[in-house]
Amino acid sequence: MSKKRTMAKRIEKIPPSGIRELFNRAQGIPGVISLGIGQPNIPTPEPLIEKLVSAVRGGDNYYSPTPGTPKYRKAISEQLKRDYNLEYNPSNEILATASGCEAIYAALMAHIDPGDEVLIPDPSFLTYSRQVRLAGGIGKWVKPKADLTLDLEDVKEKITSKTKAIIINFPSNPTGKLMSEEGLQSVVDLAVDNDIIILSDEVYDKTIFAGEKHVSVPTLNNAFNQTLLIYSFSKTFCVPGWRIGYVAGPKELIAPITKMHSFIVANAPSAQQNAIGEFLNTPEAKEFTDKLCKILEERKKKIVPGFNAIDGFECLDVEGSFYAFPKVSNHKYYTTSKELSEKIFEEQKVVLVPGDEFGPSGEGYLRASFGSTNLDTIDEVLERLSKI
């Protein structure tokens, strides 16, 4: 073997995904219940599957234009206009991507230079901080308030002349929390005043529970020209294996992302683009997302009070997404989130993700994905946890 380095320094310094490690470890072990992986277990809508089959059989198996197929981008433009009164030109303000993760990575690679600072919610989806580092940026954690939303005073304190972007994600993975319209507007105002790009990851916009409202960031005052709207259909239509999403924004911000995207994957999957393009604005799509939200809300209503009934677990209400984020720092066996997660796995065969995977403020918490379970299994999980 060559004596030269076999791993680049930029990847060597980045820790692997603890979520994926737990997911892989749990495979094939009898009796394990995993609340680790962030995907819903509701079957993909049959009409969408049929449209994918038709697309494949119809010849959509080749390269598409780098920005995406016209059908896909037009459908997204129509959906954003209908749902949020947002007007994006499908020809140059919407880019089809191979997942929301690729959308974020391409956006960071296109807009972040080495040494640029990016504000990241603490806690938040673990991919954000890793991708910022891969882009050469410096991630700066924004502390949460007691309700696990962004602390606006800390946002102000963290902004410097080097701050290039801020990532926000509501409903949040891992907390399941929403931020108020007033709070989001304050973030936008700070971004505009300091010429900071906003990356708004809104992949859970269709899983908002009763009494709550999703506020799409580019709809806020002065936000449109400052915001990149990140989206994935993985959660919306239960197709995480399809790897299909998009980024929408003003053409000046989209153009360099399109260039970067062309050198990462060339184009998003062609058949998936056109299948979703045909399905997105149909009554069947709305029926499915309504059904999905209802199922997830039923699970939420069981798991949150269930956690709160267990000694050492304290769980805020979940307002959207399919994640509960119980605080466990008062549990009798708590030393660290990772060690308690390990104890639960070893003794009760339940997978819960240590909160510090999502940022320093996640220490003392565990994340539970109730997207990949059911009501009976939640009962079993709660019963097992009560024995720890």
Residue of 25 and 334 predicted with greater confidence: 334
Q: What are the Cα distances from residue 216, in Å, to 109, 251, 291?
A: 24, 19, 22
- Residue 336 φ/ψ, nearest 5 degrees: -140, 160
Tell me whether strands 163-168 and 117-121 are parallel, antiparallel or unpaired. Answer: parallel
- Residue 84 φ/ψ, nearest 5 degrees: -130, 5
The pLDDT of residue 3 is 58
The pLDDT of residue 6 is 81
Instruction: Give the count of alpha carbons within 13 A of 132, CB side only.
Output: 24
- Contact between residue 42 and residue 238 where contact means Cβ atoms under 8 Å apart: yes
The span from the CA of 326 to the CA of 310, in Å, is 11
69-128: pLDDT as tens digits: 999 999 999 999 999 999 999 999 999 999 999 999 999 999 999 999 999 999 999 999
pTM: 0.95
Which residue stretches of the chain are H helix? Answer: 9-12, 18-26, 46-57, 70-84, 100-111, 127-134, 152-158, 181-193, 251-264, 270-279, 283-308, 337-348, 375-385
DSSP for 152-192, please give it.
Answer: HHHHHHH--TTEEEEEE-SS-TTT-----HHHHHHHHHHHH
5-45: pLDDT as tens digits: 688 888 888 887 777 777 777 777 889 999 998 899 999 99
C-alpha closest to that of 88 among 229, 243, 198: 229
The pLDDT of residue 4 is 67
123-181: pLDDT as tens digits: 999 999 999 999 999 999 999 999 999 999 999 999 999 999 999 999 999 999 999 99
Structure tokens of 52? 């994918």
Rounded to 5°, the CA angle 151-35-216 comes to: 40
Residue 192's Cβ-count burial label (10 Å; 0-12, 13-18, 19+) is middle
- % the chain with pLDDT above 90: 91
209-228: pLDDT as tens digits: 999 999 999 999 999 999 99
Instruction: Give the count of alpha carbons within 13 A of 368, CB side only.
Output: 31
The span from the CA of 50 to the CA of 47, in Å, is 5
- Residue 365 φ/ψ, nearest 5 degrees: -130, 165
Q: CA 87, 90, 91, 96: dihedral to nearest 10 degrees? A: 130
- Assign domain 59-284 one CATH number from 3.40.630.30, 3.10.105.10, 3.30.450.20, 3.40.640.10: 3.40.640.10
- Contact between residue 259 and residue 110 where contact means Cβ atoms under 8 Å apart: yes
Instruction: Say how many residues make up the chain.
Output: 388
Q: CA 193, 197, 201, 202: dihedral to nearest 10 degrees? A: 50
The pLDDT of residue 67 is 99
Structure tokens of 356? 């510090």
The pLDDT of residue 2 is 58
User: CATH 3.40.640.10 spans which residues of the chain?
Assistant: 59-284
- Contact between residue 194 and residue 159 where contact means Cβ atoms under 8 Å apart: yes
DSSP state of 226: G
DSSP state of 79: H
The span from the CA of 81 to the CA of 176, in Å, is 26
> Helices H, strands E: what count in the chain?
13, 12
Average the pLDDT over 255-260 and give the result: 99
Average the pLDDT over 282-291 and give the result: 98
Average the pLDDT over 289-305 and give the result: 98
User: CATH 3.90.1150.10 spans which residues of the chain?
Assistant: 9-44+286-385
375 pLDDT above the threshold of 80: yes
- Contact between residue 268 and residue 106 where contact means Cβ atoms under 8 Å apart: no
Q: What is the CATH number that goes with domain 9-44+286-385?
A: 3.90.1150.10
Q: Which residues contact 349 (CB under 8 A, 6 or more apart)?
A: 29, 31, 32, 33, 384
